[in-house]
Amino acid sequence: MAPEADAQPAPVIIVGAAMGGLRTAEALRKAGYTGALTVIGEEIHAPYNRPPLSKDALSTGVTHEAVAFPQRPATADVDWLLGVRVSSASLAAKTVTTTDGVSHPFRALVIATGIRPRRVIPSVSEGPRSLSGRHTVRTLDDAMALRDELVPGARVVVAGSGFIGCEVAATATKLGCEVTVVSPSSRPIIRPLGPVLAAELQRRHEAHGVLFRLGRSIAVIEGDTRLTGIVLDDGSRLAADVLVEAIGSDCNSDWLAGTGLDIANGVLADAGMRAIDVDGNAHDDVYVVGDIARFPNALFDDVARRVEHWNIPTDTGKRAGAVLGAWLAGDAAFTEALALPFTPMPAFWSNQFDIGIQAYGLPGLADSIRQLEGDLAGDCIFGYYRGTRLVGVVGLGMKAALLPYRQQIATAEAEAATTAR
**Residues in the site for ligand FAD, rule: CB under 6 A?**
15-20, 40-43, 50-51, 53-54, 85-86, 112-115, 137-138, 164, 252, 255, 290-291, 308-310, 313, 348-350
Query: Cβ 66 to ligand FAD, closest distance in Å?
Result: 14
Q: Would you say 290 or 395 has its CB closer to ligand FAD?
A: 290
Distances in Å between the Cα of 51 and the Cα atoms of 12, 67, 137, 163, 164 are 28, 9, 10, 11, 9
* Residues in a beta bridge with 212: 181
Q: Would you say 67 or 220 has its CB closer to ligand FAD?
A: 67
Q: Would you say 193 or 333 has its CB closer to ligand FAD?
A: 193
Query: Cβ 176 to ligand FAD, closest distance in Å?
Result: 21
Task: Tell me if 374 sits within 8 A of 380, measured CB to CB.
Answer: yes
Query: Cβ 317 to ligand FAD, closest distance in Å?
Result: 8
Cβ neighbours of 79 (radius 10 Å):
11
Query: Cβ 56 to ligand FAD, closest distance in Å?
Result: 11
Considering only CA atoms, which of 169, 129, 178, 180 is closest in space to residue 151? 178
Q: Would you say 284 or 315 has its CB closer to ligand FAD?
A: 315
DSSP assignment string, 348-381:
EEEEETTEEEEEEE-GGG-SEEEEEEE-TTSSEE
State the Cα–Cα distance between residues 114 and 162, nearest whole angstrom. 18
Considering only CA atoms, which of 20, 37, 24, 108 is closest in space to residue 76? 37
Query: Cβ 151 to ligand FAD, closest distance in Å?
Result: 20
Q: Would you say 137 or 189 has its CB closer to ligand FAD?
A: 137
Query: Cβ 329 to ligand FAD, closest distance in Å?
Result: 25
Q: Would you say 50 or 135 has its CB closer to ligand FAD?
A: 50
DSSP assignment string, 110-135:
EE---EEEPPP--SSB---TT-BTEE
State the Cα–Cα distance between residues 230 and 216, nearest whole angstrom. 12
